[in-house]
Every structure is written in structure tokens, then in C-alpha cells.
Amino acid sequence: MFKSLVLVACFACIGNCSPDGAELKKVLPDAIASDCGGCSDKQKEGAKKIFKFLIEKKPEQWKALEAKYDPSGSYKTKYEAELKSL
């Protein structure tokens, strides 16, 4: 899960981004807004694994991402049931 922590640092603008991380960071806001409409099944499953790991093992990093990408809490409300099922 080290890779997920590197992505968190990239997404939260507190660390360097790999080329893949930088590309993902560009599309993340749209993916969140569109329920990952342009994502493949494999990408969706990968995202769920990362979210589960962060929620359970790294709640402070998860909160940092929530603060950056969902300051109003609207997406948290929208995806609350799905996040609980992880």
C-alpha cells in the first residue's frame, strides 16, 4: 500500500507526483463528479481498494483528501453508503 500513500501525497499537493499520479490527479475531480463514469471496471476496483485502505488504516490522509476534493461534503454524502460497504 506504499503506492497509495505516494498517490495521497501527490493528490494532496504535499509530495511529488509520478507521471501516472499526475495524470490521475488531473482527472480525479471529474471522476468524483461523474461517479467514475469514464473509468474501467479495473480502475474502479483499484480505487475502492485504495479508499478502503485509507479509510481503515490512514484516516488522517483520507481526511486530507476529503478536505481538498470535497470541502462541502457533498460527495461524501452522495457516496456515503458505498464507502460504508467497503
Task: Please tell me the distance from the alpha carbon of residue 65 to that of residue 63, in angstroms, as a whole number.
Answer: 5
Going residue by residue through the chain (86 aa), what tens digit of pLDDT does each one get? Answer: 556 667 777 887 777 888 877 888 888 888 888 888 888 898 888 888 888 888 888 888 888 888 888 999 888 888 878 777 77
63-85: b (≥16 Cβ within 10 Å) or e: ebbeeeebeeeebeeeeeeeeee
pTM listed for this prediction? 0.72
| Gyration radius of the chain's alpha carbons | 12
CATH of domain 2-85: 1.10.2080.10
| pLDDT attached to residue 2 | 54
Q: And the C-alpha cell for 43?
A: 480502475
Q: Delimit the domains of the chain by residue range.
A: 2-85
| pLDDT attached to residue 3 | 64
Q: Where are the alpha helices (DSSP H) in the chain?
A: 2-11, 19-33, 41-57, 59-69, 74-85
